[in-house]
Structure 1
Amino acid sequence: MANAAQTDSVSTARWGVAAALWGVSWPLGWFMGGESGALLPAIWPSIVALGVVYLTRQALLGLVAGAIAGAIILTNGQPWAAFLSLMGDYFAPHFTNEWKMSAVAFTLLLGGFAAVLERSGGLEYFLRRYLLRGGESPTRLQAGAAGLGLVCFFDGLANSVLVGRLVSPLADRHGVSRVKLAYIADSTSSAVACVAFLSTWIAYQLSMIRDGFAQIGEEANPYAWFLRSLPYNYYCWFTLLLVGLVIFRQFNPGPIGTYERAAREKVGQGDAVAETSTATSGGLILCVIGLATLFFSLLIGLYGFGLPSAEGDAAAYFPITADKLTAAFGSQAGAFVLVFGGVMASVSALVLFPVSGRSYAKGARAYGQGVKHLLAPVMILVGAWMLSSTLSSLGTGKLLGDLVGQWAPLSLIPVLIFLFGAVISFSTGTSWGTMGILMPLAIPLIANHPGAAGIDLTPFYAAAVGAVFSGAVFGDHCSPISDTTIVSAISCDVSPHDHVRTQLPFALLSALTAALVGFLPVGFGTSPWIGLLLGALVLIGATFLWPVRRVGA
């Protein structure tokens, strides 16, 4: 009873501090709202957003609180004017923007689509029929879990649930610790979704990229920048590589080795019921056709609708050339094509759902639950747009660029963005919230840096985008308050505390490698591919040189 009262008291105090932090916006608006070029009012919305997210664990509340703080400052602390400005200038306009509404629609459509694939049982059938064939060794089970995580690239949270729910019942019989499975499930969730060009993350990521460049007055092609940023997304790639090394090198640093040795001693004590499954090949057929429909709908749609958009209605589709592909994929048709692909994939999955041995009603119910599951992330997306708009009006990016340029050279900006993002995401537990706070600052920070004059900023922009995504995924991967961390632990039947402390050594190794071998060198002009190669060598070397007592396979 005393502990509950103490917890309530701490919670009340945190909300009180958050409210006080937001309340400071009023005197700032009264006394400094009209001062052009003042730093504190310009960065205050970001401070409010970060503080409220940290104190309340509510990403949406933090982003909206930051946007309100910005509106208050911009209207010199006038309540009614702040409300009208917030609604008229920073909320309503987003709902008339074709690209942003397409991002919302695609996210919801893909949420329903992913839920139908999961409910069909096709992924479970794929795991049992193909990934676990050829033996029952601990290495085989871990590799099967990682393989399923890669296949479930379309949604990070669903990935964690599926891998944990399907594989953990087999863990004891195969001699694999539940904390090791939780690590594999967590590491192949957000990291995979973040680099997949078709996932429930992609619309949000593209929207953040688009808004980041809008801060500097550029109408950027977000898909092109997303693709450019992929080789710079060091943390995600190193995390995925480390999973493979952990499995096949039996690399168990820190406390996870103790759990693995205990699991080996309990081989054969698993629940035999775990082998029972109602999954059929029909569900796998549905998954394959559904994913193929999504992929080809987007590919054909981008070319079919994008080429006339880029070159005019008289454009000739054939012969297909590299120039035509570049023009089509760089066109403004992407907004429509996202929705087109999402609708086609959803229809194909629902129409084929009965081949999995389940009724249309169950498929429709699963689809509705999937859409409902992504309503909260979509609201976070809108909150991020609102905050981004207020920061643009305050000129925050230019002021930060001028300030940082006085003490940090341009070459250090990529690694600083990554480190700052990692701290934010670990403290708040939200990857999407971190992107919403940091992306509107990262691009202008580079564009307005004193050292940016007269040089090609393309690699710096790409590195900045990759650094924001990497930093955001770090916290989503290992923060004790992250939803994927908690879900991965629960789905594998381990406590979140045990999951965090056994996973943290791996996450820190990937993050340290990303910072020192990836983001730091690219700031000095090194190719991102060299960073990926060197990072891979560092991680491989760590599995050979680290003094770890290995557990037999």
Structure 2
Amino acid sequence: MFQFTKRISFIFFVLSLVTAFFINFNVSPTWVESQLQYQTYDNEIGQLVYRASGQESVIEDLVPYSESPLRQSMLNIQQSKPSLLQQWVYKNTTEDVVLLKADFHFGIWSLLPALVAVALCLMTREPLVALFGGIVIGAVMLGRFDITHEVFIPNIGTSSAASILILYLWLLGGLMGMWAKTGAAKAFADHMSQHYVKGPRSAKVVTWFLGLVFFQGGTMSTVLVGTTVKPIADKAGVSHEELSYVVDSTASPIASIIAFNAWPAYIQAFLFIPGVAFLATENDRIAFFFASIPFSFYAIFAVLGTLLLSLNITTFSGSPLKKAMKRVTETGELDAPDASPISAKELHQSQVPEGYTAHRLEFILPLVSLIIIAVGSYFVTGSPQIHWAFSGALFLSIFMALAKGMALKQVLDGFGNGLKGVVVASVILMFALTIGVLSKQLGGGIYLVESLGEHIPYWCLPIILQLMTMVIAFSTGTSWGTYAIAFPLGLPLAWTIAQSQGLGNPELFMMVCFATILNGSVYGDQCSPISDTTILSSMTTGCDLMDHVKSQIVPATFAALLAAVLWTSTVLFFA
């Protein structure tokens, strides 16, 4: 069976590669006008400026929209790449300013790299091979045949990629290695088991509660919760599929409900629509974000779903999670027989030197310092400084080990074992980011949004936006990247429909559409095997990546379906 699957996956990849070459040489890209709305204003010396990512920039060379070569009527007759790819224009007055961009897509073929990566993941259960295959397909479609210099180096050589490598390879790996070397994780698990955790259910409830406490969301939440509860849950006999599901499905969903984090500040920049009073200023848009939280039905149901599973109520959990629970009960095996966890087993085994006595405070104090630095830096700087937090925790862990008499050579050995344990997961993470960039460059999200029209019945729009963002986020592995695509296109469309179809409560309709984009993106990100949070949830809990994907997608889909019903009902009866 394995050899047959291997042969089928190879044939599938070869056919996809041939298709990619055909697209590159024979399919002309479709150029599309994109408009990005920013809050513009005059600064103290009278210059027209805009603010993005906290930085104020001057707008120069402003031209009328009717004279721009990037308007759609001109792009439709464009035979080659435009001479410029973005330009500031004004429409009716100089106060109605937008950034005009020329994007392109290859139609439905733009989704091919992500499709190949996901399909190969499912067929081979080898995420490294699958992601590399998707990267090759995307690179060929874009004509970047020197993949090393034209794809990997530009993407891996960025500050964001370096940041990820430092955080997840050096800091997280080093911290996990130190906890294994000192026996701190086991000591903490033993203490929790003696006093608080009495079995699988209480271990999962603790995991769920910590998911709510670490409401910063995304990678930070999955890493913090996963590394904290792993030793407790293993000792209590919680399957890795259950643990990774609870960790992942209380990360981004809770961050969109308890939104005292970086999400509102990031997302509000994409919400400006000229002439819409309740989205006029940054404060208005942030207030709109918080007012829309009660309509985040998917996030609410996702968090409730993890609570139900934690209480061993499996009505909506799906057969993969039920089978995992049954396996642990009958055999005690935390992983499926054919599982291949993407973090090394050495990180989850004690490596304590002879004569060294482990203590739970060696786990608790670095973890507390991590939380204090992360949360404190958020209130001071407006964004949680995750690198500071993990650096502080790692150095405190090393200092405590040295102070208790552990030799420097043994400390370095523990640190090195930690790095070795997360090398594969870090490479997978880098590949996932690379294929996400390629998918965005190929215009998959632009194509999906362009397929919509303004004549959609208003009650259909929320579910269409939900499905669209689910596909984009699943294909690219990022919710925040999906927001940058979907909000500037989806919300103006929603406002146009609300006005043209005479809705009595357009603001409520906009809130529902906002929530569908927000939540649909979270669903796609959660369920995608090429998402950083999916990979990190698997890595920190010791779960096989595809086992996590297949077990999580069932309850997540139940939550998405129920949310879709409520969104449609809300706009039908109240908009």
Normalising by the smaller structure, the TM-score range is: 0.5 to 0.7
The amino acid across from 2:412 in the alignment is A
SS of alignment partner, residue 189 of structure 1: helix
Alignment of 1:266-345 (within 5 A): 278-302=358-382, 342-343=387-388, 345=390
For residue 136 of structure 1, the aligned residue among 189, 198, 206 is 198
Partner of 1:174: none
Q: Per the alignment, do residues 61 and 348 of structure 1 end up closer, same or farther by CA in structure 2, a change over 3 Å counting?
A: same
Q: CA deviation at 1:264?
A: 6.9
Distance 1:204 1:366 in 2: 33
Deviations 1:45-65 (A, max 9, x none): 522233322343334653674
Q: Does 1:241 align with 2:304?
A: yes
Alignment of 1:19-168 (within 5 A): 19-29=17-27, 36-37=75-76, 41-44=105-108, 46-57=110-121, 58-59=130-131, 61-62=133-134, 65-66=137-138, 69=141, 71=142, 101=159, 103-111=160-168, 112-118=170-176, 119-120=178-179, 125-130=187-192, 133=195, 136=198, 139-147=201-209, 154=220, 156=222, 163=229, 166-168=232-234
TM-score normalised by the chain length of structure 1: 0.59
Partner of 1:380: 432
Deviations 1:471-515 (A, max 9, x none): 32135599xxx75787699659xx977x88876654443232233
Q: Per the alignment, do residues 94 and 523 of structure 1 end up closer, same or farther by CA in structure 2, a change over 3 Å counting?
A: farther
TM-score normalised by the chain length of structure 2: 0.57
Q: Does 1:471 align with 2:524?
A: yes
Q: Does 1:513 align with 2:562?
A: yes
Q: Does 1:404 align with 2:452?
A: yes
Structure 2 unaligned segments of length 5 or more: list them: 33-73, 78-102, 122-129, 333-348, 500-505
Q: Per the alignment, do residues 468 and 288 of structure 1 end up closer, same or farther by CA in structure 2, a change over 3 Å counting?
A: same
Relative CO higher for 1 or 2, CA cutoff 8 Å, sep ≥ 6? 1
Deviations 1:297-326 (A, max 9, x none): 232123xxxxxxxxxxxxxxxxxxxxxxxx
Q: Per the alignment, do residues 124 and 466 of structure 1 end up closer, same or farther by CA in structure 2, a change over 3 Å counting?
A: farther
Say if 1:28 and 1:41, in contact at 8 Å, map to a contact too: no
From the two aligned structures, give the one with the greater strand fraction: 2
Q: CA deviation at 1:15?
A: 0.6
Distance 1:284 1:489 in 2: 18
Q: CA deviation at 1:524?
A: 6.2
Counting aligned pairs with the same residue, the percent is 14
Q: CA deviation at 1:287?
A: 1.1
The amino acid across from 2:233 in the alignment is V
Partner of 1:353: 398
Alignment of 1:164-203 (within 5 A): 166-171=232-237, 181-195=239-253
Q: Per the alignment, do residues 280 and 446 of structure 1 end up closer, same or farther by CA in structure 2, a change over 3 Å counting?
A: same
Partner of 2:4: 6
Deviations 1:335-384 (A, max 9, x none): xxx6x652364145314433256654256436745884435424533443
Say if 1:239 and 1:507, in contact at 8 Å, map to a contact too: yes
Partner of 1:76: none
Partner of 1:317: none
Distance 2:476 2:330 in 1: 41
Structure 1 unaligned segments of length 5 or more: list them: 73-78, 172-177, 268-272, 303-333, 528-553
Partner of 1:452: 496
Q: Per the alignment, do residues 68 and 284 of structure 1 end up closer, same or farther by CA in structure 2, a change over 3 Å counting?
A: same
Distance 2:387 2:540 in 1: 27
Q: Per the alignment, do residues 370 and 62 of structure 1 end up closer, same or farther by CA in structure 2, a change over 3 Å counting?
A: same
For residue 467 of structure 2, the aligned residue among 402, 419, 427 is 419
Distance 1:487 1:262 in 2: 21
Q: Per the alignment, do residues 401 and 507 of structure 1 end up closer, same or farther by CA in structure 2, a change over 3 Å counting?
A: closer
Q: Per the alignment, do residues 524 and 401 of structure 1 end up closer, same or farther by CA in structure 2, a change over 3 Å counting?
A: farther
The amino acid across from 1:167 in the alignment is A
Deviations 1:375-429 (A, max 9, x none): 542453344335434539xxx73x755541256345544433433555677xxxx
Say if 2:139 and 2:438, in contact at 8 Å, map to a contact too: yes
Number of residue pairs aligned between Structure 1 and Structure 2:
441
Say if 2:271 and 2:488, in contact at 8 Å, map to a contact too: yes
